[in-house]
Amino acid sequence: MKMKKIRETELRFVYRDTEYFAPEEINEARDAARLFEDVFDMSSQAQEIFCALFLDEERHVVGIEKVAMGDVKSFQSSTHELFKRGLLHNASRVIVAHNHLTDTPNPSFDDVDLTWNIIHSGMFIGIQVDDHLVISNGEFYSIGVAFQMEEYSPEEDYTGEQLREVFEKMEKDNFPPFKI
């Protein structure tokens, strides 16, 4: 049998010197949006960034990280990176957010499709995706709240066939963004 040399590895967290104050629990999208804005200054970025807020079962914050950076029009998301970080934090839940450089946080179909994908990926590994926020110009759009208003359950749409129709209804209903 051919042998290969391997090394023992150890995984460690690296904490940054900066500290932020977070609410005891995150129960509303606005609380999460404020925290993302406080930590990452998402409305003032020169490029799109994709961030995650990791929570335990009781919605206590266990971590917050920038997961991906992009350019002026998009970011390259990685569900692998997102959930790897969630598992390292022992998270039971996650709220994700990204920014738009335009004056409006209204989501694109790609944003809604990404939400569907991460919800389904999280189902397989036991991390619930509570929301996807789009932040711009001091406002945010909650895709999770929009799904509720449209009475859409991504967990029940296993193939994503209803997603385009739901997105078109979201655009037609012109669900307004919230102030942070």
User: Where do we find the tokens 């991906």?
Assistant: 68
Average model confidence (pLDDT) for the chain?
A: 91
pTM of the model: 0.90
For the chain, domains (ranges, CATH) are 29-179 (3.40.140.10)
Task: Quick: pLDDT tens for 38-55.
Answer: 999 999 999 999 999 999
The span from the CA of 55 to the CA of 86, in Å, is 9
1 contacts 9 by C-beta, under 8 angstroms: no
Per-residue pLDDT at 78 exceeds 90: no
The span from the CA of 97 to the CA of 84, in Å, is 17
What number of residues does the chain have? 180
Name which of 13-27, 89-103, 106-120, 140-154 the model is least confident about. 13-27
Lay out the sheet containing 139-142: strands in order across. Answer: 61-69, 49-55, 93-99, 128-136, 139-142, 178-179
Per-residue pLDDT at 82 exceeds 90: yes
Per-residue pLDDT at 75 exceeds 90: no
> Which pLDDT belongs to residue 20?
80
> Which pLDDT belongs to residue 16?
73
Task: Quick: pLDDT tens for 85-113.
Answer: 999 999 999 999 999 998 889 999 999 99
> Which pLDDT belongs to residue 148?
94
